[in-house]
Amino acid sequence: MASSSSSSSSALRFLISIALLLALASASDPSQLQDFCVAVPDSASSVFVNGKFCKNPASVTVDDFIYHGLNVAGNTTNAEGSAATPVFASQLPGLNTLGVSILRFDFGPYGLVPPHTHPRATEALLVLEGYLYVGFVSSSNELYAKTVCPGDVFVFPQGLIHFLYNVGKGQ
Ligand X SMILES: *[C@@H]1O[C@H](CO)[C@@H](O)[C@H](O)[C@H]1NC(C)=O
Cβ closest to ligand X, residue 76 vs residue 96: 76
142 annotated ligand binder? no
Q: Tell me the chain's radius of gyration from C-alpha atoms.
A: 25
Q: How many residues sit in the footprint of ligand X (CB under 6 A)?
A: 2
Question: Left (φ > 0), alpha (ψ -120 to 50) or beta: where does 18 sit?
Answer: alpha
CB of 65 to ligand X, least distance (A): 29
User: Which phi and psi angles does 149 have, rounded to 5°?
Assistant: -130, 175
CB of 78 to ligand X, least distance (A): 6
68 annotated ligand binder? no
3-state DSSP call for residue 20? helix
**DSSP code at position 117:** -
Cβ closest to ligand X, residue 57 vs residue 69: 69
- According to the binding rule CB under 6 A, does residue 75 interact with ligand X? yes
Q: Are 84 and 123 a contacting pair, CB within 8 Å? A: no
- According to the binding rule CB under 6 A, does residue 77 interact with ligand X? yes
Cβ closest to ligand X, residue 5 vs residue 77: 77
116 annotated ligand binder? yes
Q: Are 74 and 85 a contacting pair, CB within 8 Å? A: yes
123 annotated ligand binder? yes
> Which residues, 6+ apart, have CB-to-CB distance to 129 below 8 Å?
150, 170, 171
CB-based closest residue to ligand X: 75
User: CB-side exposure of 20: number of CA atoms within 13 Å?
Assistant: 6
Identity of the amino acid at 33: L
Cβ closest to ligand X, residue 43 vs residue 75: 75
Residues belonging to the binding site for oxalate are 118, 123
Residues belonging to the binding site are 116, 118, 123, 162
Interface residues with ligand X (CB under 6 A) are: 75, 77
Residues belonging to the binding site for Mn(2+) are 116, 118, 123, 162
